[in-house]
Structure 1
Amino acid sequence: MRLLVKFCSGFLLFFLISFSAKSQLKNQRIIEASYESGPLVSNGKEWADEVKDLVSYRGIDVRFGWRKVSSDYYAQLYRYPTYGLGFTMAIPYYSEIGRPQSIYAFGEFPFSRKRMERKFNFSYFGQIGLGFNLNPYDSLDNPLNQYIGSEVNAYVQLGLKANYQISKRIDLFSTLGLKHYSNGSTRKPNAGINLIPLSLGMRYRLEPATLPKESEQAALPPRLSKNFLDISFSGGIKNYVIEEPSYFRGGMGLTYLRDGGVKYRYGVGLDVFYAGGLDRRFPDEVFELRDKFSLAVIAAWEWKLNERLYVPIAFGAYIHRNEINQESTWFYERIGIRYRFFDQLFGGFQIKAHKVKADFFEFTVGYRFSELHN
């Protein structure tokens, strides 16, 4: 869990530095504050319904961001998105789940180039960060909360936003989204806390709202047809049984990718996974090496947010799997965030899941062999 805290904190810090380092580009800085309220979502079990009835979420959210309005073609491609950092917290303390708080990085993307110049416009957003100050499951002190087994968790929110511009500097807005807290099975139980808050808030621009004129817009680069080969190594922690030790989970991947344009890449690959601690989990049994490894083929897709930051998405099908390692279905899903350093090196983290149920968090480093042929 300390590894999760250090990695996510470091990634958020790097996110801030990497974007702030481009301050020579034209940015519009913004500050937002909002109040939000909404229900906790039950998974239908009796204990979950009881917690849901006891928790009526109310919270606040504060964000600092910057909207790049330069001639950068990725800024234009995504209709001048806003990136930044934020902090959210529940106002009351709930004895069942604690007072959830999180620090996060976010991106907000307008739906339409034409509508974003009007007073009333819409956008969609994503937030990813570190959640903390939760009251986890404890068989003696908090047996009702089987949603979460750790105080520190990953935090994600996806949502929609409606904006109304009052002046060149002030907007009113409302959002509706899904907040999710999960530790990726580093400590069970891990059903995950899901909240659906509706918010009302205000945005203040430190610089007046302006957009580049048509003559200032850069031409998009030509469609590329490059091919890449990624080799990656991942590691994480997985807990198999409530209140028992957690063990190493990791593996490596080999992925062949083709550049599908300025927004995405696609490809196929192989994943190999290793499950540590099998002999300690079942000390009275004898295992072979193949019981600790699994093999899968994947279909991969990458959404490029800019030249270095991207979202990896994959669907995998096992060739060989071990249900004793809680590989419960013949397929799995993966989504995360990665950043490319020095052209070839990359790092990031993903969530691997079976039917949207977390298997483990993967902290990944890798190397990209680029331009194999055109």
Structure 2
Amino acid sequence: MKKSIYLILFKLGFLFIFFTFFPNSIYAKNIDSTKIKDDWYIESALRYGRIVPNSSGTKLWNINVIGADLRIGKQTFGKSEWEQWFGYPNYGLAFRYAHFSDNMLQDKIACFWFLSGSFVDSRHLSFRYQLGSGLVYFFNYYDPFKNIENVFIGSALNAHIDLNLSLDFTITKQIDLILRANFSHSSNGAIRFPNYGINPISGQLAVRYHFNERAEKIYTIDTIKTFLPKNSLYFTLAPGFKQSKKNYVYDNPDKYRVKTKYLTTTFQLGYLRQFHPKYRFGGGIDIMYSSELRNFFPPEKQNEWKYMTTAGFVSFELLYNRFVVHAALAAYISRSADFYEWYYERAGFKVLLGKNRNHSLGIMLKAHAGMIDYIEWGYNFQFFNWNDKSVRILKRFKKRV
């Protein structure tokens, strides 16, 4: 086992050095820097970490994670105002390989988009955050005969959420060195049990190569003093499906053998107020249907109306141009049974569509106290909009020295 880990480390180290010190051998012949204005880059990273336990009695913390990332990204320089408001974010696509030092999880590969902004930005050092989401494939998921211990990953294909904090050091005009702390989550959103999910944390060492010398950052929002707030009424329709823990068969070696899936649907009426170029908040009512709730009632008391619930929610959103990060907290107003918790959380993202950005498509995770209930696939329409009569005074942007 140790020999195989050393072999993997050797291969990852070779790839890291190759992409770090010899990028021109791959790309320079095909790139004319005089014709490229956008700041595209390639990044290679090595990572090492462990898995945070998400249930008692597990030995997840004893599992080591080693792997490598390859990223293709674009560094913004303030051509659009939203880039300046968020501290010149970079965004792109990441590919990840990870090996787990046990026979239960073994290996995974992931592909996910990422978006990174800065808390502090100077000419030679930046303190940054990153959001990411995509898909991950596990080679050794749950199997009632071959891998019954793996109650954490119940399907080969899963959702992947990726969060980072990093220190980015500018070494030359085209090379950056990055020290990164990473947290990720992988699960299938209750589409198939078992689905405890895993939460690796890791440290990363990365080197980024810019294909061209980075452009000088543009500063224009230091002249912006006011913003006209926008108010909107909207509705959202978001169907989904899930399995139920009520279908566990405890007297069978494979207690997850019942694969019944249940329809879920959320209809939402809400209000949004955009008070800043990059922030908006809101609230409203959720009207939800979940056919899974039939499992909470004896046959003689089952009724479709009992599977309806209502809740009130408050929300907050970040607007990266047309890309929206959404978070909400809600409490049930009415329900026919005391299932799960009395409150829930919702988090996800939306993409704004249309000339006036009144339509959007999004993916949300609904969870009870951090445990995923189901995934919502939603369409949103802002059907009535109005602006304030007076402008709002903004805090002026401080130009970097």
Query: For residues 139 and 379 of structure 2, what CA distance do their matches in structure 1 show?
Result: 29
Q: For 2:72 and 2:202, how far apart are their aligned partners in 1?
A: 20
C-alpha distance in structure 2 between counterparts of 1:150 and 1:373, whole Å = 47
Map of 1:230 onto structure 2:
234
The equivalent of 1:305 in structure 2 is 320
Does the aligned pair in 2 maintain the 1:221–1:262 contact within 8 Å? no
* Aligned equivalent of 1:247: 262
Q: Quote how far apart the aligned CAs of 1:264 are.
A: 1.0
Distance 1:249 1:89 in 2: 33
| Superposed CA offset, 1:92-112 (max 9, x none) | 685312412111010111222
1:222 deviates by 3.1
Q: In the superposition, relative to structure 1, how do residues 213 and 309 fare at CA in structure 2: closer, same or farther (>3 Å)?
A: closer
- Counterparts in 2 of 1:313 and 1:280: CA distance versus 1, 3 Å: closer
CA positional deviation for 1:251: 1.5
Q: Which amino acid counterpart does residue 340 of structure 1 have in structure 2?
A: L
Moved more, 284-293 or 190-199: 284-293
Aligned pairs for 1:33-44 within 5 A? 33-44=44-55
Alignment of 1:1-374 (within 5 A): 26-46=37-57, 48-49=58-59, 51-53=60-62, 55-91=63-99, 94-113=102-121, 115=122, 117=123, 119-214=124-219, 219-220=223-224, 222-241=226-245, 242-244=256-258, 245-276=260-291, 284-306=299-321, 308-323=322-337, 327-342=339-354, 343-374=357-388
- What do the CA deviations read for 1:273-303 (whole angstroms, capped 9, x no partner)? 1112555897844312332111001112111
Read off the aligned partner of 2:114 and give its amino acid letter: F
Q: Is the 8 A contact 2:244 2:292 kept in 1?
A: no
- Alpha carbons 2:243, 2:262 under 8 Å: kept: yes
Q: Tell me if structure 1 keeps the 8 A contact 2:273–2:280.
A: yes
Give CA deviations for 1:303-325 in whole Å, capped at 9, x if unaligned: 1111x21111111110113557x
The two structures have a TM-score, normalised by structure 2, of 0.79
Residue by residue, what CA displacement relative to the aligned partner does 1:47-81 show, whole Å, maximum 9, x if unpaired?
x21x443x311011011011122431101111111
Tell me the distance in 2 between the aligned counterparts of 1:103 and 1:238: 24
- Evaluate the alpha carbon distance shift between residue 164 and residue 102 of structure 1 in structure 2; reply closer, same or farther with a 3 A threshold: same
Q: CA deviation at 1:129?
A: 0.6
Residue identity opposite 1:332 in structure 2: Y
> 1:373: how far off?
5.0
Q: 1:43: how far off?
A: 2.5
**Partners of 2:218 and 2:185 in 1: CA distance:** 39
- Is the radius of gyration larger for structure 1 or structure 2? 2
Change (3 A) 1:69 1:243: same
Q: Secondary structure at the match of 1:135?
A: coil
3-state secondary structure, aligned to 2:365: strand
CA contact (8 A) 1:233 1:251 kept: yes
Post-superposition offset of 1:182: 1.3
Give the unaligned 5+ runs of structure 2: 1-34, 246-255, 389-401
Q: What is the rounded CA distance, in whole Å, between the counterparts of 1:368 and 1:204 in structure 2?
A: 42
Greater CA drift, 138-147 or 85-94: 85-94
Aligned to 2:382, what secondary structure does the other structure show? strand
Contact 1:234/1:251 (CA < 8 Å) preserved in 2? yes
Question: Aligned partners of 2:158 and 2:238: how far apart in 1?
Answer: 19
Matched residues, number? 341
Structure 1 stretches of 4+ moved >6 Å: 280-283
Normalising by the residue count of structure 1, what TM-score does the alignment of the two structures yield?
Answer: 0.85
State whether residues 32 and 63 of structure 1, in contact with CA within 8 Å, keep that contact through their aligned partners in structure 2. yes
Asked if the contact 2:64–2:101 (Cα under 8 Å) also holds between the matched residues in 1, the reply is: no
C-alpha displacement at 1:205, in angstroms?
0.2
CA contact (8 A) 1:310 1:339 kept: yes
Task: Specify every segment of 5 or more residues in structure 1 that has no aligned partner in the other structure, as ranges.
Answer: 1-23
Structure 1 CA distance for aligned equivalents of residues 199 and 266 of structure 2: 29
Give, in angstroms, the shift of residue 220 of structure 1: 4.0
CA contact (8 A) 1:26 1:69 kept: no
